Structures are given as C-alpha cells and as structure tokens.
Amino acid sequence: MMHLKGLMLWLTITAVSTTLGTTPKRTPSNTKASSEEPFRSFRILDARLTLLTNQQDALKAAFNPLQSGSGSIAASSGLRTKAFRNMNFTAAGIERIASGLERLYEGRHQLFGVQMFRMIRIKAEEVQRGVNAVAKAQTRSALDLATKRLDERIVSLVVQFQAASGGYGAARCSPDAWTCCEPKRSKDLLQSERLACMWGCVATAKSCTGFLGPRIRRR
C-alpha cells in the first residue's frame, strides 16, 4: 500500500512538472508599437540623422584646434576621440532601427519594405566604416580622403532616409484606411535615390503594392 501511494505521488509530481515545463513563456507584446511603424521609427531616425550631422561638424572642428576652441593639440585629440565615439554610437543606433524595420517587413512578407530598410541599414554600416577610416588615417592626404568619403556616405544615408520617409506626414487618410508606401517608378527617382516611396492611402491592406504604414484609427 505504501509503495502504491508513493508511485501515485511520483506520477502526480511528474505530470505537474511536465505541464509546467511545456507552458509557453509569455513575451512582451509589441503589437501597439509595430502598428505605428514605420512612422514611429521615422521620427526617431530624423532626430538621429540631425544629431549625426551635428556630430560630423564637431568632428571637423576637432581637427582644427583654432575652430574647436581647444587651444592645444592634446585637447583637440581628446575632442576627436569623443567625436569618433559619438558618431559611431549614433550610426549604430540608426543601423539597429533600420535592421528592426527590415525584420518587421520580412515578417509581414512585404518585400519592398525589406529592400528599403535593408538599404538604409547598409548605408548606416557604411557610415560606421567611414568614421573608423577617418580615425585610422595616418597622413593629411589620407585624412582628407577619408573625410570626403565619410561626408559622401552621410549624405547618401540622409538621401535614402528622405526617399523612404518623404511626404509620410502629409498623407491624409480617412478612418480605417491604411497608409501605404507605393514604390516610385525608376524614371521618377531623384539623383542618388535607389528606392523611394510615394506615401498615400489605400482602402485595404491588399491594395498596397509596396509596404504598409499605420492604419488610421477612428476617433
């Protein structure tokens, strides 16, 4: 009898443990945040890109002790190190946001969105490499060349962001409609644009041939 009771207790404990072990873990819901994409990230990216260009000016000033107001080469060197670090941090943040949007549209199976944000991610990575090239320059000619290339990469990143976000705030959609990035035709692309959006409104999600933005809620 004691052996039977012990067996029953063991079976009960095993069943409870198995049930607990197979209970799916709860993960925080990001549905509300993702439903506002990519407009939510556009606002953040716009601020980050403004910060990046300001940091770019600070980096250039750090290579000129008189402009930086440091008064010494040593102080200027410290400003350069700070400028490199700040620019890398900001560019990495831009890359992470673009990468997150790339994954979001992969999950939604909206290829144009994947392509758009992959391009922004790649350009942000190129800016990071450009910052590192400036930091490693050993001669004045190498520094000038690296700085020029960094400038070009930052401009390219800004242009591509504007190609993705341009006009999104002007879209005026009726309640329950979807905002939609329709791909610009190749002949309508501006210089330096690889992909670009024409933000508008569609009645149903399936009507969007590019990628979807937020749905307009009823008030």
The tens digit of pLDDT for each residue in 32-62 reads 778 999 999 999 999 999 999 999 999 988 8
DSSP string, 108-175: TT-HHHHHHHHHHHHHHHHHHHHHHHHHH--SHHHHHHHHHHHHHHHHHHHHHHHHHHTTGGG----T
The tens digit of pLDDT for each residue in 13-35 reads 344 333 333 333 333 346 777 89
Confidence (pTM): 0.80
